A and B are shown apart, each in its own frame.
Chain A
Amino acid sequence: MKRSLIFAAALAASALAGIDARAQDAPVTLTWQMWGQPNDAELWQQLADLVTEQYPDIRVKLQLSGWADYWTRLPVLAASGEIADIISMQSMRLPNFYSILAPLDDYVKGGDVKVADFETSIMSGLSQDGSLYALPYDVGPWMVFYNRDKFAAAGLKEPAKDWTFDDFKANAKALTKDGTYGYGTQAFDFIAGPVALGADYFNDDSEFDLTNAGFVGAFSKYADLTAQDKLSPVFASAADASAASGRFASGNVAMYIDGPWSLITGQANVNFKIGIAPLPRGSGPSRFITAGSGWGISATSQHKDAAFKALQVLTGPKAAEILGSAGRALPARLAQQTAWYDGAAKNVAGTRDTLEYMFAHTTPFRINDKWNQFENLVMQYVPLALTGDTKPDVVLSDIQSQLP
């Protein structure tokens, strides 16, 4: 009796689904390749469910892998034709991978996506040769995280939004005492830092030109903080790229450079008040680079139209609010950034002010297909400039000589 009832219900349900399907397109299941920890799965699944909520015929199947594995798997899956319909992409990796993505310009023109709703620097970050390849879900500039308690204890004023490198250095000096450092340097500081000081690592043809006087000068300023003034510990060539965040959390360094994506975990790990400030500027006006991630459609997908529908939901206002209030991402959608400011950043005074200042002063983050190689070389060679073993200009020409 009971069984037959269930059977009848199932029959009715399938009949309903059938009618529904005939009314619209045939139901499709899209695969979505994303990076993240296993405990992120729930959050991403929530977004996938949003798609089905809006388009009952579209199911999005999440395929999660760890961050490092993701980038090893991606080219292999692409080469073997096993790649998902929706692919996650980080702005700094786009020059290596844009060829596996479908350009989105025509879809954007034909769809309801308004480009102006998104932060501009990340839209250009996810474009290659003038074509958009992914819609962003998060964005963030590199900025200075500082220990508010230590600033107060040392009697220092909180950094101004347009503070200069000399202010930064003076603060680092005042904070370096009793076995703790004012600043914890990391590999990426030698890219974001010099740019903020007004230097360029590229020539006009987007080729590496690390030995130009401006870049050497700005790079040396950052290197000398460690080599000459001993205001920061040296990082090792095999160090975790985020080693300084550990030192910052344990109170061993008072300032380090990171992005808004670290703020929520950063706050959970510390027992002091965190402050954030823009990167220090040189003699010219402030300028900052941003990075972020988004989702694109595989060039070989059989369901591109459905995938774009899904993409609009995944990067839509509702999804942005979910990610923002969970603290997972500072939304690339300007209107939804409030969710993050009121959520992840609610205990960090001045965050909105600082970030809005930084977004108003972004400069395009220029990269090419050798970018990955460049970052690895920075990691490998910069420690020599920090120990004082090699002069900064020699380190830069060593790196330059290996970039064809």
Chain B
Amino acid sequence: MMLGKHTDLIARPRPRSHKWFRGEGWTALFFLLPGLIGIVLFLVLPILASIVLSFTNWQLLGSPRFVGISNYVRLFTTDPQFWTVLRNTLFFTVEYLVLNIIISLGLATWISSLKFGQRWFRVIFFLPTFTPLIAVAMVWMLIFTSGGLFDSLMASLSVPLAGVLNDRTLAMQAVVLTSIWAGVGYNTVLFNAALDMVPSTYLEAARIDGATAWDRFWKIRLPLISPTLFFGTVMTAITSLQVFDQIYVMTKGGPGSSTATLGYAIYQRGFQNFQMGYASAIAWVMFALIMALTALQFWFQRKWVHYDA
């Protein structure tokens, strides 16, 4: 009897969808609905809409007209700004990423070596992470503004540095510094937690075998936290490719276009110049760039990330 039923099923395979929505499938769907509706309405649809928009000349007012790939053609061939913006974004990402990882790893290692007050230092370095970035950037803008705290500090040290936000090269450095201050705490706590998870037996064994602190760091602790290091690197790279808040508050992309990044260019084209179609095209280029760089990092991780701890 039972067997007959089974063969019956095998003999007449039903469409897969039926199988999904039987019994618990419906229940699962029902419980997923609130999240699913939210994701479809506020994530999937806008993403699809922005693909469509990137092929139109929508100006926010009036109806959009289909223009094919001309937004993309203009972006890569005639827009005098695009390559500058792309270069700025990559420059910011590389500098910020390298500095952030080095500083946060250094801080994490230092904190984990402390005998007392580890918890306090973790809290102190984590504080900027839950401070709104706009507020942080406002304060740093006031510090760097001409005649501000930074200028008078430099003057009292007789360093000829003033008005950094009005300087083509230094403005970006001010933005990087602000970002580091705001962003280093997250990675510090992350790496610190990973370092504390390294089994002390490995380190003791190495010490008995005569490994120096330097060797223990490079050959034992770093390989053991490499999965966390990889996670931190990927996430930091993604957020720094999207940098916007600091630029918006501190420089508005200036002076000239020396700090204009992709994120800021999207805002400027879309919401200041009302070129929604063009802004959508830039957003998709940014998306492709982030995808490609993240894929590249995943490919590279085989060379340096060890999951066999």
Contact = CB atoms under 8 A, between A and B. Distances in A.
Interface SS of chain B:
loop
A402 interface: yes
Interface stretch (A164-172, A280-288, A333-341, A377-385): A377-385
Interface string B239-254: 0000000001111111
Nearest to A236: B165
Contacts of B46: none
Contacts of B165: 236-238
B163 interface: yes
B281 to A, nearest CB: 15
Contacts of A233: 146-147
Given A79-B61, A401-B80, A402-B80, A237 B272 contact: no
Interface size class of B (residues with CB under 8 A): 20 to 34
A398 interface: yes
A234 interface: yes
Nearest to B163: A234
Nearest to B259: A237
B235 to A, nearest CB: 27
Nearest to A395: B256
Interface stretch (A1-9, A96-104, A123-131, A304-312): A96-104
B212 to A, nearest CB: 49
User: Helix, strand, loop or mixed for chain A's interface?
Assistant: helix
B60 interface: yes
A72 B273 contact: no
Contacts of A42: none
B244 to A, nearest CB: 13
A25 interface: no
Interface in A54-101: 72, 75-76, 78-79, 96-97, 99-100
A265 interface: no
B223 interface: no
Interface in B226-278: 248-257, 260, 268, 271-274
Contacts of B268: 376
B250 A238 contact: yes
Contacts of A234: 146, 163, 166
A373 B273 CA distance: 6
A96 B274 contact: yes
Given A233-B147, A383-B255, A99 B166 contact: no
A228 interface: no
Contacts of A402: 80-81
Contacts of A381: 254-257
B61 A75 contact: yes
A238 B273 contact: no
A269 interface: no
A370 B272 CA distance: 10
Interface in A266-321: none
Contacts of B260: 380
A237 B251 contact: yes
A136 to B, nearest CB: 22
Highest count of chain A CB atoms <10 Å: which of B61, B165, B253, B272 = B61
A236 B274 contact: no
Contacts of A78: 61
Nearest to B60: A75
A354 interface: no
Given A99-B61, A234-B146, A236-B145, A380 B254 contact: yes
A372 interface: yes
A100 B274 CA distance: 14
B225 interface: no
Given A373-B273, A402-B80, A237 B168 contact: no
Contacts of A112: none
A96 B61 CA distance: 9
B62 interface: yes
B107 interface: no
Given A233-B147, A380-B253, 11 more contacts: A72-B271, A99-B62, A234-B163, A236-B165, A236-B251, A238-B249, A372-B274, A376-B252, A379-B254, A380-B256, A381-B254
12 contacts: A79-B60, A79-B61, A236-B163, A237-B255, A238-B254, A372-B273, A373-B273, A379-B252, A383-B166, A383-B254, A383-B256, A387-B167
